[in-house]
Structure 1
Amino acid sequence: MFYRLPSSVRRRIVRIIVPKYLVGAVTIIRDAEAAEPGRILLLRQPPGRSWGLPAGLLKRREEPAVGAARELQEESGVAIDPDDLTAAVPNAIVHSKGWVDTVFTGSVPASTTPLIVDGGEVLEARWWPLDGLPTLTPNTALLLGIYGIGPLASEASR
């Protein structure tokens, strides 16, 4: 019976019934010049007690890689072409609080890539060695753990 309804009515019914998710884009950016174990770019945002990854919500109808590149540049000053970002595996992380993060990886040479922050949304951007990460936000620690990085990396593999 549902499929006999006009498509506009079906779409309205689905939008009412199906839960809505916010969709964000996250980038894990490595220093292309760093020796093993490597370094990643982290941001300290207000209130400034711990560090996280460049991330933000996608704009309406924005392609995830485009949104990831946009947020990276807005928050850290790092400009990267969306085509130079690689979809992480897994690419989408569904959070229990009602949002979905699409995750991308990339690399830039830290020595020639200036980090620029606005002091409002982002207090500080810095390259951190993978074997010496600072205190991470809970969401960042969980997300990095999925990709085998950080203090929760061993828990994610269980």
Structure 2
Amino acid sequence: MAASPRPAALRALRLTAFRAFYRLPLRWRRRLVRMGTAHYIVGAVTIVRAADGRSPGRILLLRQPPGPGWSLPGGLLNRGERPVVGAARELAEETGIRVDPADLRPGVPNAIVHSSGRWVDMVFEASVPADQPFTVDEAEVHEAAWHPLDALPRLTGPTARLLAHYGIGPLAGRPEDD
């Protein structure tokens, strides 16, 4: 049985397209690739645990505009900023808690891809004294408070999904519920 001429024609067309693409200047090739690929925003988030020995443990949550739910300290990385530095910066900006980037531990998993929102969170963990006072940035944060792991308040959807990867919150054990 003879092969269909169509696949051969498609192969020839594909080969011609790739040859033309690789003749373009590198700058143009990069632009074309960027236009045709998914774009993700990268942020850094910190799960801050109270170092007070209480059982169950407590984590620091923020109530931020515009929604009614609680979330974790974090934000977008600056261009060229290392994720651990961005996580420490965002924690200090939003809560006044200063942690040396070297004292932040990478979460396991360290990167959470939110495919529906097209962003990636680099997750870090820290333990700080529970009696450390908060200085919230009132433009970004309405309130910061410690919450027991077994009695968390209403979380934002992305926060609940992120914490599920660490066995925390209402979606624990179901992190894929995007």
- Give the counterpart of 2:123 among 92, 103, 112: 103
**TM-score normalised by the chain length of structure 1:** 0.90
Q: What is the root-mean-square deviation of aligned Cα atoms in Å?
A: 1.9
- Give the secondary structure class of the aligned counterpart of 1:37: coil
Q: Show structure 1 runs of 5+ residues with no match.
A: none
Q: How many residues align?
A: 157
Equivalences for residues 23-62 of structure 1 within 5 A: 23-47=42-66, 49-62=68-81
Q: Percent identity?
A: 62
One-letter amino acid matched to 2:89: R
Structure 1 stretch displaced more, 39-48 or 73-82: 39-48
One-letter amino acid matched to 2:128: V
Q: What's the offset of the Cα at 1:119?
A: 2.2
Aligned to 1:65: 84
- Give the counterpart of 2:32 among 1, 7, 13: 13
Q: Show structure 2 runs of 5+ residues with no match.
A: 1-18
Distance between the aligned counterparts of 2:38 and 2:144, measured in 1?
35
Structure 1 stretch displaced more, 101-110 or 30-39: 30-39
Distance between the aligned counterparts of 2:176 and 2:137, measured in 1?
37
One-letter amino acid matched to 1:57: L
Distance between the aligned counterparts of 2:170 and 2:38, measured in 1?
32
One-letter amino acid matched to 1:100: V
- Give the secondary structure class of the aligned counterpart of 2:81: coil
Flag the structure with larger Rg: 2
Distance between the aligned counterparts of 1:105 and 1:54, measured in 2?
11
**TM-score normalised by the chain length of structure 2:** 0.81
